[in-house]
Amino acid sequence: MPNWGSEPYLISIGNHVTISCDVIFLTHDGATWCFREREEYKGVNKYGRVCIGDNCFIGCRSTIMPGITMGDNSVLGAHSLLTKSIPAGEVWAGVPAHYLMTIDEYARKCKNGKGHVKYENENKRETLIRYFNTNLK
């Protein structure tokens, strides 16, 4: 289950978005407490919206920092720390997350690579077991 942070009203999620397990959405910089008692910084806080476009995927245990936008048709890989906005149609991953490829390159890689299994209306479990018993011994 995602962690929506202390200001969930600053998060917007588009249509057809998958958010994997343990994703963290941060909308504020809590470290400002270190200096906000000093007179010149009294009451200083830092907040930022998090905006996720349409048709996006966010991998498990990723963290999205304040002020970030994920453009439409984008992917964030598992265990990533997103500190910069992702343009539409790109795949990013890492700590910190960085550009890997376009969504079209990723689609071709998945279709042509090892582990591509098409099952549409078949039983998913039976199809996967048959595939892995046949192709990946």
**Is a pLDDT exceeding 80 seen at residue 118?**
no
Strand partners, 69: 51
**Tens-digit pLDDT profile for residues 95-112:** 999 999 999 999 999 888
| Cβ atoms < 10 Å from Cβ of 1 | 7
pLDDT at site 10? 96
Please provide the average confidence, as pLDDT, over all residues in the chain. 92
